[in-house]
Amino acid sequence: MSETALPPRSAIAPEHTWNAPSVFQTVDDWHAEYKALMADLPGLGAAYQGRLADGPGTLAGFLDAYETLYGRVGKIVVYASMMSAVDSADQDAAAMAGQAMGAYSRVLAAAAFAEPEILAIGQDTIAGWLRSEPRLAPYAHYFDNVFRKQAHVRAAEVEEVLGMLADPFSSVAKTASLLANADIQFRPATTRDGQTLSVEQGNLLSHLLSDDRTRRQTAWESYTDGYLSFKNTFANNLATTVKQDVFMARARRHASALESALFPYNIPTDVFHRLIDTFRQHLPTWHRYWAIRRRALGVETLHPYDIWAPLTANRPHIPYPQAVDWISDGLAPLGEDYVAALRRGCLEERWVDIYPNKGKRQGAFSSGWKGTHPFIMMSYNDTLNALSTLAHELGHSMHSYLAWQHQPMVYSDYSLFVAEVASNFNQALVRAHLLATQPDPDFQIAVIEEAMFYFHRYFFIMPTLARFELEMHERVERGEGLSADSLIALMADLFAEGYGGEVHVDRERTGITWATFNHLYANFYVFQYATGISAAHALAQGVLDGKPGAVEDYLSFLKAGDSRYPLDALQLAGVDMRTPEAVETTFGVLASYVDRLAGLVEAH
């Protein structure tokens, strides 16, 4: 596969693409189901609105009917969003994705009457109905959560309007995605020998991982300059999302956007602030790593585009089937059933849209719904980093797979707070396996580089973005404005602190980093990458150490889905995120990688 140009979507072999026909056989079938769902939707309110207090049977009937509609719209959303993600230039798919989000918004709006009616019934009455109606028994946690949120649930008319806002509000994130993935034209990168190479979302990482510093520099500068050329649009877009977050917080009578974002998951804001405090205390570990990397590369000044540069020329070439084998071996402690399901997904059932193509959106993600496969979109390129990305996304997918098998629709998802635990857990176990079975020093360096790649993203970039996000929201809450230049300056200042004088700060190009992360359109999501990697490493250590019950407890956590509050689910697995212990432990793991890398580089 040429590095100079990505193949069109049509050139990718079907066996290397996600299994779209398993959701809908054809696009026409999708459109038919969309029309059928829209026709059926009014029946929910007609049958149940104003009647939930009639008795436990009526309430159970409503919940059954709503779950059926929710399952149907989920398949519509998954199909359209995956179609659009693998080819952002496909305008029909983009239109379908917009329709799907509209359908999802309408399903939420159609059921908006339910929670106010449930609250009016009263918690004591609901408790009695739970005992008398077996169909309601599985909803005990759901009802507990409804009454917990009572102070922030508005009247039915207000809830209906807030539900309808999901679609227009989602357009802001879609605008940013289309701007980044379809409209920005990045100028070519240049190699040390003068060759020009295209720069696209799907191949940026391959440029940054190159041993050619000229290529890295020109690709990074092209990429950041592409975003800078639209800085005002991106800034206005992000500011709009922040204002939406503040609006929703105030509409639901929360003290802040941060509190509003964490309240649905029953997470105190102290968890966020404790993470940031611990992160700042451990910045010297990162400063030491930058210094080691600069010496290993033999450069006078370390630049941001050097952060991904290889420290060994002998990097392993890992085809996709080999990656699946090594991932399976690393996850063997979780048992035969876990590994067998994972292998079927990767090699037979086509969970994974594997290789890059022109128009494929940046990054990787796991998608799906109860009733579909847990699909993965990525751009596998035969590197150790690609293996690790696959292991990471399989963590998400296996979390979904087990939750869907063991939970009803109401608990079939899991919160953002626990979403990054299974993914990082998988990576921790696979790294341990590779370090234990691949003694070659070059391979060991490559494994640690891969670990540092993810630690850099989750334990450096994401907490830095979290600090940025908090300041943005607080400025809007104080009535202050946000502009492109002020956001760039804030971001540059935060990175300067994190780099500690060991990395050169190109203030404009470093400062535009916020625009390259669509994660900021999910209210206070980014800090949860850092809490997720912390919980993951604490739990993985128990499994690697052979702690009694560690595997069983971890699998119970995966199977629990959303049937417990996130902090309680993690406590079931064996880690308490109400304290800083897991974050401290994971900084210890980070420091051990830095120490090991220093020794390997010195002996290399």
Query: Is the predicted pLDDT of residue 338 greater than 90, yes or no?
Result: yes
| Residue 492 within a domain | no
Tens digit of each residue's pLDDT (9 = 90 or more) over 91-117: 999 999 999 999 999 999 999 999 989
Residue 172 or residue 511, greater confidence: 511
**Strands of 365-367's sheet, edge to edge?**
352-353, 375-377, 365-367
Q: Position 367: which residue type?
A: S
State the Cα–Cα distance between residues 512 and 490, nearest whole angstrom. 10
| Residue 216 within a domain | no
Query: Is the predicted pLDDT of residue 3 greater than 60, yes or no?
Result: no
Task: Give me the CATH number covering residue 97.
Answer: 1.20.140.70
Tokens linked to 165: 């806002």
3-state helix, strand, coil in the chain (%, to 5): 70, 5, 25
pLDDT band at 2 (very low <50, low <70, confident <90, very high): very low
| Residue 95 within a domain | yes
| Residue 140 within a domain | yes
Tens digit of each residue's pLDDT (9 = 90 or more) over 434-476: 999 999 999 999 999 999 988 999 999 999 999 999 999 999 9
Query: Is the predicted pLDDT of residue 347 greater than 90, yes or no?
Result: yes
**Total count of domains within the chain:** 1
| Residue 155 within a domain | yes
Tokens linked to 548: 């009694």
Which of 418, 390, 367 has its CA nearest to residue 573?
418
- What was the pLDDT predicted at 1? 36
Is the separation of the CB atoms in 413 and 403 below 8 Å? yes
Alpha helices by DSSP H, 156-209: 156-164, 166-178, 204-208
State the Cα–Cα distance between residues 279 and 550, nearest whole angstrom. 27
| Residue 114 within a domain | yes
- What is the SS3 assignment for 195-244? CEECCCCCCHHHHHCCCCHHHHHHHHHHHHHHHHCCHHHHHHHHHHHHHH
Query: Is the predicted pLDDT of residue 339 greater than 80, yes or no?
Result: yes
- What was the pLDDT predicted at 130? 97
Query: Is the predicted pLDDT of residue 496 greater than 90, yes or no?
Result: yes
| Residue 316 within a domain | no
In this prediction, residues 330-337 reach a mean pLDDT of 98
Tens digit of each residue's pLDDT (9 = 90 or more) over 52-106: 999 999 999 999 999 999 999 999 999 999 999 999 889 999 999 999 999 999 9
Q: Position 510: which residue type?
A: T
The percentage of residues in the chain with a pLDDT greater than 90, rounded to a whole number, is 87
Q: What is the pLDDT of the chain when averaged over all its residues?
A: 94
User: Residue 105: in which H helix or E strand, if any?
Assistant: helix 91-110
Domain extent at residue 64: 9-164
- What was the pLDDT predicted at 225? 97
**Which residues touch 510 (CB under 8 Å, ≥6 apart)?**
224, 304, 491, 492, 495
Report pTM.
0.85
Catalytic residues: 393
Strand partners, 366: 376
| Residue 103 within a domain | yes
Which of 290, 266, 287, 285 has its CA nearest to residue 583?
285
- What was the pLDDT predicted at 176? 87
Tens digit of each residue's pLDDT (9 = 90 or more) over 10-36: 999 999 999 999 999 999 999 999 999
